């Protein structure tokens, strides 16, 4: 796909401020949103794919557009216990730990979910890092940088990493606008139908803003 960009970024952000993300935008909201715009643009993503990535990030980050760590509402100590139970080889789900490539003590916490789409497990960090040319296995916290998190999201959603379903499974591969039902089905790319209606609504609004900004 040929690269894409906003031909009128000011109109894009003006539309967001008038609707979904307004009435003001912080510098971090702008810079993180721009990181996603760059990643989807470099990948040449069509209108609906770009809108759905933005809508997904908006939802997964509690509307901040900044990459997050899984279970961030817990204290550090409680989160460490949770990651041990869920993902460590000596935790409550050793089969899942093995599936994720978590073979060393402490891997559950070290390779917990991070980013815009919660990259999880040593193997997934290694594979994503190799695709990006970044040592995410050695430095998993790098997935909290918006630019890297956005690239991981693009690779995962475009390649069907998370559920076996990708953007092309549900969304138009041209710059035709998508409707709410299409965006609802697209939730299968990430996580079944959890919050599918909410994220579809966000994607529709981002799609409108991208159109205002001349996505091309």
Q: Is the pLDDT of residue 131 over 90?
A: yes
Is the peptide bond preceding residue 160 cis, with omega within 30 degrees of 0? no
Every domain of the chain and the residues it spans:
9-67+147-212, 76-142
Classify residue 14 as left (phi > 0), alpha (psi -120 to 50) or beta: alpha
pLDDT tens-digit readout, 93-122: 999 999 999 999 999 999 999 999 999 999
pTM assigned to the model: 0.95
Q: Domain 76-142 falls in which CATH fold?
A: Endochitinase; domain 2 (3.30.20)
Q: Quickly list DSSP for 112-126.
A: --EETTTB-SHHHHH
For residue 1, the model assigns a pLDDT of: 79
Q: Is the pLDDT of residue 195 over 90?
A: yes
For residue 84, the model assigns a pLDDT of: 96
pLDDT tens-digit readout, 37-63: 999 999 999 999 999 999 999 999 999
Q: How confident is the model at residue 81 (pLDDT cuts 50, 70, 90)?
A: very high
Nearest to 49 by CA among 175, 155, 159: 175
Angle in degrees, CA 127, 187, 214, rounded to 5: 90
């Amino acid at each position: 796909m040929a690269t894409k960009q906003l031909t009128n970024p000011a109109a894009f952000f003006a539309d967001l401020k008038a609707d979904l993300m307004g009435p003001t935008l912080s510098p971090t909201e702008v810079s993180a949103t721009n990181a996603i715009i760059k990643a989807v643009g470099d990948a040449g993503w069509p209108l609906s794919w770009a809108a759905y990535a933005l809508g997904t990030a908006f939802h997964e980050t509690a509307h901040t557009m900044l990459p997050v760590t899984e279970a961030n509402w817990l204290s550090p100590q409680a989160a460490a216990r949770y990651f041990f139970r869920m993902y460590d080889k000596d935790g409550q789900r050793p089969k899942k730990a093995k599936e994720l490539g978590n073979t060393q003590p402490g891997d559950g916490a070290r390779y917990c979910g991070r980013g815009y789409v919660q990259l999880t497990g040593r193997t997934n960090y290694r594979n994503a890092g190799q695709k990006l040319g970044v040592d995410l296995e050695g430095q998993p916290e790098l997935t909290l940088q918006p630019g890297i998190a956005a690239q991981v999201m693009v690779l995962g959603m475009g390649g069907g990493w998370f559920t076996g379903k990708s953007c092309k499974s549900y969304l138009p591969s041209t710059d035709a606008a998508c409707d709410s039902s299409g965006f609802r089905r697209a939730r299968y790319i990430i996580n079944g139908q959890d919050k599918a209606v909410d994220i579809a609504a966000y994607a529709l609004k981002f799609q409108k803003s991208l159109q205002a900004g001349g996505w091309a």
